[in-house]
Amino acid sequence: MEVREVCFVRHAKSNWDHPGLKDFDRPLDERGIKDAPMMAREMSKLHLVPDLIVTSGAKRARKTAEFFKREFGLSDIQFMVTDDLYEASADEVYDVLRAVPDSARFVYLFGHNPTFTWVANSISGVHIDNVPTCGIVHVQVMIDSWIKFKPEHAGFIGFHYPKQYKE
């Protein structure tokens, strides 16, 4: 058994100015473009740097994850895109996590609400009314393989969101 960590990250604020645009293709808005790199810097300062990022393929989630990838200095092989996190249920999010290579001890998953709030609240001892845009729920679990991940055995470590770090 060993400690493994995961941060569930809701994408940064998206732009709703294009009503004809498919939801999957919505970009970040100005606030999202500012919050994503700021939150990545804050996580870096806290030494919460993952071995692997797995992100939804939706444009707003992918762009948020790319800011983190750049800040953390991760390579392309440490960055995975999957449409399985788009419109996913909590169980589908766990399935994505269970498929992560065991060589990654610390993983960031980038996705969407309401699912990521449901995921946060499935963790032992946690109640969060709403994971805001660019909110991050940090969890630890004692397992020797991601395939054994169960949310009820995970321990809540921290909750980070942009308003905590703005003056």
Cβ pair 61, 25 in contact under 8 A: no
Give the DSSP H or E segment for 79.
Answer: strand 79-82
Q: Which amino acid is at 79?
A: F
* Domain 2-165 is found in CATH 3.40.50.1240: yes
Nearest to 102 by CA among 135, 138, 149: 149
Cβ pair 96, 107 in contact under 8 A: no
pLDDT tens string 8-62: 999 999 998 888 899 999 999 999 999 999 999 999 999 999 999 999 999 999 9
Cβ pair 10, 132 in contact under 8 A: yes
Cβ pair 8, 139 in contact under 8 A: yes
pTM of the model: 0.96
- Alpha carbon distance 97, 100 (integer Å): 5
pLDDT tens string 79-138: 999 999 999 999 999 999 999 999 999 999 999 999 999 999 998 778 999 999 999 999
- Alpha carbon distance 26, 167 (integer Å): 28
